[in-house]
A and B are shown apart, each in its own frame.
Chain A
């Protein structure tokens, strides 16, 4: 019962596509789990089910043992979940700083009335500046989010999630669109966050970085977890190789 996050036999169907098929996952506090799988395996869908953006047709999501399947996204985030979107979703008309300040002010935005009687942004601004420095966006605070290239928007996505002070951080392809050096840095930043006792689930196609930083890997294929364990063991699993046939990703990871 010590799992910080548990997905129990979650299934969800979009028209003719069974995106999740009784997917189950248990994550202990402090773990750093890489969630991999071919395109269309259901990785994004699983993260969306965990955060409540999608409701599973059947199955449950548990946070620290409590069933949150019917709670809103905001309620789950307030209990320590945070998600970065695969397709970045910045507030484009706001500055980079304001994007992060809003997240950092989650105490102040707990309800409209409470928010109405709060004006000061001092402490949130300070915290947001520090986080932006940490993800490598120092110096871009005053720019409009709209003006950032994709690589930096990926970092902004991470910065906003970190500003929520999550206990469980869900990252959907945070390294996509970054060059080799940037990906390395970003992966290190994520590893450092995990080292400060934040549980991390990392969905990523960059297997080189996943193998480097994650201590456990779960493989999703056709909506189900088909393999789960230590990185080397999972990579040697014939089922995983089969799942990736034609995808060419494992060959790359071996290189």
Chain B
């Protein structure tokens, strides 16, 4: 494998973790978040600082997941106060606050970011294998949650939280769980990214990333783990194949997002199901 391919697969793996974890929050539990980049970034910075201080890979990744999750639970508390359409706006705010904050902090490297992140010791191929393994574990976890009573209850909360409450569901605790788990995985992805590039700045976690991730979720099919994972792969590779797309990422992903919501709210997974259903009919 060329260095380019290894690096591309690493990015694909990280985006799969991010999109599938966002799907836990926005797809399963119906809490539309346009700030996933902030949790990703919080994890990356936490892991980077821990890596610099301890040179311990496991510790750094755990720190990334924990800090991502802590920030996620704080934002989750906000989600208890606002209706879902406002949550989208609130999370956009969180993302801008995060990047704005990081750029001003000298202990986080300010505009220059953190460039002295020690290597993981696994080499580029080892990093890639670790990232892909984490992506597979994330997919497996998502599939399991969807089968469990937690996923079942998430769907109820996502569809009608008042109705869920009358069926004995403590809506607040389920929303917090969705945020806690989803953002822990985003933080983990941030840690993996920090080791992958060994150099992070706030730009890597800005609002455009959040839009791209939500586009992956919506295009893949809200709530469908496999659909979202496939969309993450395709939408990561597409801008690589068609270079000029990269310069218009916000426009392209934002446009796709709106188009998909208007034309096929079930996403690719929904279209696929319809296709199978039609061809199964005599």
The interface size of chain A toward B, counting residues with CB under 8 Å, comes to 38
Partner of A90 from the list B162, B163, B177 (CB cut-off 8 Å) is: B163
Mark each residue of chain B from 168 to 201: 1 if its CB lies under 8 Å from any CB of chain A, else 0. 1111111011000000000000000000000000
Residue B160 is within 8 A (CB to CB) of chain A in the complex: yes
Task: Contact check, A119 vs B167: say whether CB atoms are below 8 A apart.
Answer: no
Q: Let me know if A78 is at the binding interface, CB within 8 A.
A: yes
In A46-61, the 8 Å CB interface with B consists of 51, 53
Question: Are A73 and B155 touching (Cβ within 8 A)?
Answer: no
Tell me if A74 and B171 are in contact (CB < 8 A): yes
> Is the CB of B150 closer than 8 A to any CB of chain A?
yes
Contacting residues, chain A, for B168 (C-beta < 8 A): 74, 77-78, 103, 106, 109-110, 164
Per the bound structure, the CA–CA distance linking A109 and B153 in Å amounts to 7
Q: How far is the CB of B138 from chain A (nearest CB, A)?
A: 15
Chain A min CB distance to B184 (Å)? 13
Contact B165 A119 (CB under 8 A): no
- Whether A77 lies near B145 (C-beta < 8 A) is no
B166 touches A83 (CB 8 A): yes
A115 to B149, CA, bound (A): 5
B58 to chain A, nearest CB (A): 23
- Give complex CA distance A114, B163 in Å: 21
Note all chain A residues with C-beta closer than 8 A to B160: 89, 91
Interface residues of A in 64-102 (CB under 8 A from B): 72-75, 77-78, 82-83, 85, 89-94, 98, 101-102
Q: Hey, what's the 0/1 contact readout for B119-162 against A, CB within 8 Å counting as 1?
A: 00000000000000000000000000101111011011001101
In the complex the two chains form, is B165's CB within 8 Å of A53's CB? yes
A112 to B156, CA, bound (A): 13
Across the interface, name the chain A residue whose C-beta is closest to B153. Answer: A109
What's the interface size class on B, roughly? 20 to 34
Residues on A with beta carbons closer than 8 Å to the beta carbon of B148: 115-119
A108 at the interface (CB under 8 A from B): yes
Distance A102 CA – B159 CA, assembled complex (angstroms): 13
Taking a contact as CB atoms closer than 8 A, the residue among A73, A85, A92 that contacts B159 in the complex is A92
- In the complex, how many angstroms separate the beta carbon of B129 from the nearest chain A beta carbon? 28
Q: With A and B bound together, what is the CA distance between A108 and B150 in angstroms?
A: 9
Are B155 and A94 in touch, CB under 8 angstroms?
A: yes
Interface pair A109/B169, CB less than 8 Å apart: yes
A246 within 8 A of B: no
CA distance in complex: A101, B167 (Å): 10
Give the A-B contact count at a CB cut-off of 8 A. 91
A248 interfacial contact with B, CB 8 Å: no
Contacts of A112 on B, CB cut-off 8 Å? 150, 153, 173-174, 176-177
* A-chain residues with CB within 8 Å of residue B171 when the two chains form the complex: 74
Using CB atoms, name the residue of chain A closest to B145.
A116
- B149 touching A73, Cβ below 8 Å: no
Smallest distance from the beta carbon of A44 to chain B beta carbons, Å? 13
The reply to whether the CB of A105 lies closer than 8 angstroms to some CB of chain B is yes
B147, B150, B165, B177: which contacts A74 (Cβ < 8 A)? Answer: B165
Nearest Cβ distance between residue B60 and chain A, in whole angstroms? 26
- A89 vs B159: C-alpha distance in the bound complex, in angstroms? 10
**Which B residue's beta carbon lies closest to that of A84?**
B166
Question: How many whole Å from A159's CB to the nearest CB in chain B?
Answer: 11
Does residue A111 face the partner (Cβ distance < 8 Å to B)?
yes
Contact of A89 among B162, B170, B174 (CB under 8 A): B162
Name the distance in Å between A188's Cβ and chain B's nearest Cβ.
24
Establish whether residues B162 and A103, one from each chain, have CB atoms under 8 Å apart when the complex forms: no
On chain A, the residues within 8 Å of B167 by CB distance are 77, 102-103, 106, 160, 164
Tell me if A17 is interfacial: C-beta within 8 Å of chain B: no
CA distance A93 to B153 in the complex (A): 13
- CB-CB contacts below 8 Å: A167-198 with B: none
Please state if B149 and A53 are interface contacts (CB–CB under 8 Å): no
Chain B positions within 8 Å of A85 at CB level: 163, 166
- A251 contacts B by Cβ under 8 Å: no
Which A residues touch B150, using CB under 8 A?
112, 115-116
Cross-chain contact A109 with B149 (CB below 8 angstroms): yes
- Report B180 CB to chain A, min CB distance, Å: 9
* Bound: A115/B168 CA distance, A: 13
Query: How far, in whole Å, are A114 and B159 apart by their CA atoms in the complex?
Result: 21
16 contacts between A and B (CB under 8 A): A74-B165, A74-B171, A75-B170, A77-B165, A78-B168, A83-B166, A89-B166, A92-B159, A94-B156, A105-B149, A109-B169, A110-B168, A115-B149, A117-B148, A118-B148, A164-B167
Residue positions of A touching B, CB distance < 8 A = 51, 53, 72-75, 77-78, 82-83, 85, 89-94, 98, 101-103, 105-106, 108-119, 121, 160, 164
- Taking A94-B155, A164-B168 as known contacts, 19 extra A-B pairs with beta carbons closer than 8 A to each other, sorted by chain A number, are A53-B165, A72-B172, A73-B166, A74-B165, A74-B168, A74-B169, A77-B168, A91-B159, A91-B163, A93-B155, A93-B159, A101-B152, A106-B167, A109-B168, A115-B152, A115-B153, A116-B177, A118-B148, A118-B149
Which 8 A-B residue pairs are closest in the complex by CB-CB distance?
A112-B177, A115-B149, A89-B163, A115-B150, A77-B168, A106-B168, A116-B150, A73-B165
